[in-house]
C-alpha cells in the first residue's frame, strides 16, 4: 500500500457551487476564476467541472493554452494582462481577453500588429490600489483604447478590497458608479464575496473564485449556510499510535506536554504536503468521522491527532484534514490564514483524484 494521503476533488460539488453562483448572478455572465491551478484543484479538472461557465479567468498564457487544448472556445480573461509586447502574438494565438491596467499596456497594444483585434477589460483602481487606472485617468485611457485599431470590445472592470468584511463595497462602488456612469460598456465588478452579498455589484460579468471551490469568503459565515459544498477533501490515515503518560512531551521542540494519560495518532500529512505549519495544538481534524484536535508541532511529513476520546481509532483509521465534514476555513482560521492559501498550497507530491 502507498502513503495514504490523498486529495479527492468532487466534480459534483464544483457543479453545485457554479449553480449557486448562477443563482446569485441572475442574468450576469460568469467568468469562473480558475487561476492558481484552479485554486489548487487542478486547472483541467476544475475547468471540466465548471464547463458551463461563460468564461474562465486565469493568470498566465500557459493556463490559457491548456484551456484551449481542452477545447474551451469561450472567453479566457488574462487577469494581469500581458507583460510585454512580444507576448501579444501568443495572446492572439490563444484568443485571450486582456486586462489592461496601466498605460504601458495601452502603448503595447498601439504598437502591435495583430491580425484580429483584442477584446479587453479596462481596469479602474477604485481604492484597492493594486492594479488599475486612477479615476482621473480612466476616461483618457478608455479614449486611447477606443481609438486603437488593435482593440475590439471594451469591458470596464474594478475589484473590491473589502467585499468580505465590515467595510463592504459602498465606498468603492460610489467611485465606480461616478466614473462609469456616462459610459456605455459592459461592466465586471464582483468577486465571490460581492456576488454573494451585494446585489448592486452584479453587472454584466461576475468573477467568482473561492465560492466555486466550496469555501466561504466571509470570516463569520460558513460555506454550508451559503449552499456551497467543499470541492476538495484532503484525507489520510493514522500510521502509528503512541500512548503518553502525563508529563511526557510530543514531537519537535517538545512543545506539547501531555497533561494526563493520552493516546496520540500519527497522521501521514505534514507541511511538505501543504498542511500549514502554523496550525498549532487545537487545530480541528476528523478521525473516523469524529472531530478532534491536532497536538504539538506539524512536522514535514507527519502531524499528531488526539485520539484520547476516540478509543476505536487505531492504525489505519481514516483522517480528514479538511473537506467533507470539516471546512477548510476552520483549519485556515486555526493557522492564522485563509482557505485560499491552504487550497492553493497542496503540494505536488499529494496524489489527486476525482471522486465523490
Ligand atoms: C482572484 C480574483 C477574483 C476571484 O476572487 P474570489 O475572492 O476568489 O472570488 C476575482 N477578480 C479578480 C481580479 C481576481 O484576481
Render pLDDT for 70-82 as a digit per residue (tens, 0 to 9).
999 999 999 999 9
Domain 11-226 has CATH 3.20.20.10: yes
Residue 121 pairs with which residues in a beta bridge?
Answer: 99, 155
Q: How confident is the model at residue 28 (pLDDT cuts 50, 70, 90)?
A: very high
Q: Tell me the CA–centroid distance for residue 6 and ligand 1, in Å.
A: 27
Cα separation values, 80 from 57, 96, 102, 220, 348, Å: 10, 12, 10, 30, 25
Atom number of ligand 1 nearest to Cα 195: 9
Q: Look up residue 167 and give its three cell numbers.
A: 467595510
- The two domains 11-226 and 232-354 share their CATH topology (first three levels equal): no
Confidence grade of residue 320 (pLDDT, cut at 50, 70, 90):
very high
55 Cβ below 6 A of ligand 1: no
| CB-ligand 1 contact for 192 (6 Å cutoff) | yes
Looking at residue 140, its pLDDT comes to: 98
Beta bridge partners of 30: 206
In whole angstroms, what separates CA 2 from the centre of its chain?
29
List C-alpha distances in Å: 158 to 120, 130, 173: 13, 11, 9
CATH topology of domain 232-354: Lyase, Ornithine Decarboxylase; Chain A, domain 1 (2.40.37)
pLDDT in the model for residue 68? 98
**pLDDT category of residue 355 using cuts at 50, 70 and 90:** confident
Angle in degrees, CA 65, 70, 74, rounded to 5: 75
| CA 352 to ligand 1 center in whole angstroms | 24
Cell of 293: 484536535
pLDDT in tens, 142-180: 999 999 999 999 999 999 999 999 999 999 999 999 999
Q: Could you confirm whether 134 is annotated as catalytic? A: no
Q: Using the predicted structure, report yes or no on whether residue 240 has a pLDDT greater than 80.
A: yes
What is the secondary structure of 259-315 as a DSSP string? SS-EEEEEES--GGGT--TT--TT-EEEETTEEEEEES---SS-EEEE-TT-TT--T
Cα(91)–Cα(97) distance, rounded to whole angstroms?
Answer: 8
d(CA 229, CA 246): 40
% of the chain exceeding 70 in pLDDT? 100
Mean pLDDT of 102-131: 97
For residue 48, the surrounding DSSP H or E stretch is: helix 43-49
Binding site membership of 210 for ligand 1 (Cβ less than 6 Å): yes
pLDDT at position 103 over 90: yes
C-alpha cell at 39: 485554486
191 Cβ below 6 A of ligand 1: yes
**So what's the pLDDT on residue 326?**
97
Mean of the per-residue pLDDT values of the chain: 97
Q: What is the pLDDT of residue 49?
A: 98
Average pLDDT estimate for 61-65: 97
Residue 113 has what pLDDT?
95
Number of continuous H segments (helices) and E segments (strands) in the chain:
11, 18
pLDDT at 220 over 90: no
Is 35 known to be catalytic? yes
Domain ranges of the chain: 11-226, 232-354
* Residue to mutate, 191, 216, 332, 340, ligand 1, most ligand atoms under 8 Å from C-beta: 191
Amino acid at each position: 500500500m502507498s502513503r495514504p494521503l490523498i486529495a479527492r476533488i468532487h466534480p459534483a460539488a464544483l457543479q453545485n457551487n457554479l449553480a449557486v453562483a448562477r443563482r446569485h448572478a441572475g442574468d450576469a455572465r460568469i467568468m469562473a476564476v480558475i487561476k492558481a491551478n484552479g485554486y489548487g484543484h487542478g486547472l483541467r479538472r476544475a475547468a471540466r467541472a465548471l464547463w458551463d461557465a461563460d468564461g474562465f479567468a486565469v493568470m498566465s498564457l500557459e493556463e490559457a493554452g491548456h484551456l484551449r487544448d481542452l477545447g474551451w472556445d469561450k472567453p479566457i480573461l488574462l487577469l494581469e494582462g500581458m507583460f510585454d509586447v512580444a507576448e501579444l502574438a501568443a495572446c492572439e494565438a490563444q484568443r485571450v481577453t486582456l486586462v489592461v491596467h496601466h498605460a504601458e499596456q495601452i502603448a503595447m497594444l498601439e504598437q502591435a500588429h495583430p491580425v484580429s483585434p483584442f477584446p479587453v477589460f479596462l481596469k479602474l483602481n477604485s481604492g484597492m490600489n493594486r492594479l488599475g487606472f486612477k479615476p482621473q485617468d480612466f476616461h483618457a485611457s478608455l479614449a486611447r483604447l477606443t481609438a486603437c485599431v488593435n482593440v475590439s470590445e471594451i469591458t470596464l472592470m474594478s475589484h473590491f478590497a473589502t467585499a468580505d468584511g465590515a467595510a463592504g463595497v459602498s465606498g468603492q462602488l460610489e467611485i465606480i458608479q461616478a466614473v462609469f456612469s456616462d459610459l456605455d460598456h459592459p461592466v465586471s465588478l464582483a468577486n465571490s464575496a460581492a456576488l454573494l452579498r451585494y446585489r448592486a455589484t452584479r453587472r454584466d460579468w461576475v468573477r467568482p473564485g473561492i465560492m466555486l471551490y466550496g469555501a466561504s469568503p466571509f470570516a463569520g459565515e460558513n460555506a454550508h449556510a451559503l449552499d456551497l459544498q467543499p470541492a476538495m477533501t484532503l484525507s489520510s490515515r493514522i500510521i502509528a499510535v503512541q500512548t503518553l503518560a502525563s508529563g511526557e512531551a510530543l514531537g519537535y521542540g517538545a512543545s506539547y506536554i501531555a497533561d494526563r494519560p493520552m493516546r496520540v495518532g500519527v497522521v501521514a500529512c505534514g507541511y511538505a504536503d501543504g498542511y500549514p505549519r502554523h496550525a498549532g495544538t487545537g487545530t480541528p481534524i476528523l478521525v473516523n468521522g469524529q472531530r478532534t484536535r491536532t497536538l504539538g508541532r506539524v512536522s514535514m511529513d507527519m502531524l499528531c491527532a488526539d485520539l484520547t476520546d476516540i478509543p476505536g481509532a487505531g492504525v489505519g483509521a481514516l483522517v480528514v484534514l479538511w473537506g467533507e465534514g470539516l471546512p477548510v476555513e476552520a483549519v485556515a482560521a486555526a493557522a492564522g490564514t485563509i482557505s485560499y492559501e491552504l487550497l492553493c498550497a497542496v503540494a505536488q507530491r499529494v496524489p489527486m483524484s476525482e471522486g465523490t
